[in-house]
Amino acid sequence: MRILAAPDKFRGTATAAEVAGAVDAAGRTVGATTRSVPMSDGGEGFLEVFGGANRTTTVTGPLGGAVEAGWRHAGRLAVIEMAQASGLALVGGAEGNDPIAASTAGTGELIVAALDAGAKRIFVGHGGSATTDGGLAALRALFPAARLKGVELVAAVDVHTAFLEAADVFGAQKGATASQVELLRRRLERLAQVYLEDHGVDVTTLPGAGAAGGLAGGLAAVGATIESGFELIADELDLASAIEESDLVVTGEGFVDEASFHGKVVGGMVDLAAEFGVPVLVVAGEVFDGVGDRCDAVSLVAEFGRERAMADTLACITEAVAARLT
């Protein structure tokens, strides 16, 4: 049996690479050959999918302090994960954040570093942001936008959120109160007008422009394309060929629900594998919204109990997958 292990991370318990390793361990129990392809949907883990950081640049953090941000440069390609420079984790989560002041300046500075290194293709993973500045600080760091001429800049996203919805959808997660969400919304409305006047781009019409607090829209205003992070990765890694050569695909993430089938890894893997008639096993910490009716899914919490599923996640994954291979 040939297994393709292509999971997303289990946030807070295991990286995508660790989950793939647990699947590989299960495959070995039945003599299967496993190909590990850790995945991301454009959020956390995006950088690791492409091999991890091989450059580090000191940039402006989300609240103004200096941070050391890792990114990747290989030939003409640069890969940036905006959370490395402008992420919520850098300020200690929502409780440590100032959602009004939080800035994407550092992400813009990473793009500048990539340009200075000679990159002609720049992928920016969106996810885990502390910011709702519509990408304004990033664009200020990139000024003048003419430096992007001849460069393929891609905003890799995992949501369809509109630019003007960014504050309402994500503001509270970043520590914003109801009144701050309203202020951020008005700020995005004004910024959309500025982008239209200055760059001729109506970011309010672009699906996914609200990703990372509107960073995707800001980058689109100066020429970036907004793409599904999963589809971008699938194309770059030739995932279709890997699936076609497999007898079973094992994917998963920490929580699988209806949203997992809208731009996320699990839904993308299920759909892509269906095109080749390859069965899929979805392993998740928990399964919600009747997802089990849509695909073969196993919940670690249901199988092993919440305490063990959280404390011994990788062993549970190995046991669950091995049980279904025998």
- CATH assignment of the domain containing 258: 3.40.50.10350
* 32 and 148 inside one domain: no
Question: Of 180, 209, 230, which residue is a domain's last?
Answer: 230
Q: At residue 242, what are phi and psi to the nearest 5 degrees?
A: -65, -40
* 180 and 59 inside one domain: yes
* 212 and 256 inside one domain: no
* 163 and 225 inside one domain: yes
| pLDDT tens track, the chain, 326 positions | 999 999 999 988 999 999 999 999 999 999 999 999 999 988 888 999 999 999 999 999 999 999 999 999 999 999 999 999 999 999 999 999 999 999 999 999 999 999 999 999 999 999 999 999 999 999 999 999 999 999 999 999 999 999 999 999 999 999 999 999 999 999 999 999 999 999 999 999 999 999 999 999 999 999 999 999 999 999 999 999 999 999 999 999 999 999 899 889 999 999 999 999 999 999 999 999 888 778 999 999 999 999 999 999 999 999 999 999 98
> Which one-letter DSSP state was computed for residue 202?
-
Question: Of 178, 203, 230, which residue is a domain's last?
Answer: 230
* 268 and 191 inside one domain: no
Domain count for the chain: 2
pLDDT in tens, 135-193: 999 999 999 999 999 999 999 999 999 999 999 999 999 999 999 999 999 999 999 99
Kindly report the length of the chain: 326
* 84 and 211 inside one domain: yes
Contact call for residues 170 and 97 (beta carbons, < 8 A):
no
Instruction: Return the residue matching tokens 């509107």.
Output: 214
What's residue 148's pLDDT?
Answer: 97
* 107 and 165 inside one domain: yes
Question: Of 177, 195, 230, which residue is a domain's last?
Answer: 230
**Tally: H helices and E strands in the chain:** 14, 11
Return the C-alpha torsion angle 107, 113, 115, 118, nearest 10: -140
3-state secondary structure of 49: helix
**pLDDT > 70: percent of the chain:** 100
* 87 and 27 inside one domain: no
Neighbour count for residue 69 (Cβ, 10 Å): 27
Q: At residue 190, what are phi and psi to the nearest 5 degrees?
A: -65, -40
* 68 and 213 inside one domain: yes
pLDDT in tens, 266-285: 999 999 999 999 999 999 99
Q: Which of 156, 165, 189 is nearest to 39 (CA)?
A: 156
Domain that holds residue 305: 2-37+238-325
What angle separates helix 178-199 from helix 211-221, to the nearest 10 degrees? 10
* 58 and 199 inside one domain: yes
Neighbour count for residue 200 (Cβ, 10 Å): 8
What's residue 68's pLDDT?
Answer: 98
* 87 and 226 inside one domain: yes
Token pair of 122 as six digits? 């720049």
* 158 and 72 inside one domain: yes
pLDDT in tens, 54-66: 999 999 999 999 9
For the stretch 113-118, contacts whose Cβ atoms lie closer than 8 Å and that sit 24 or more positions apart, written own/partner, are: 113/55, 113/57, 113/59, 113/71, 114/71, 114/73, 114/78, 114/80, 115/147, 115/148, 115/151, 117/55, 117/73, 117/78, 118/76
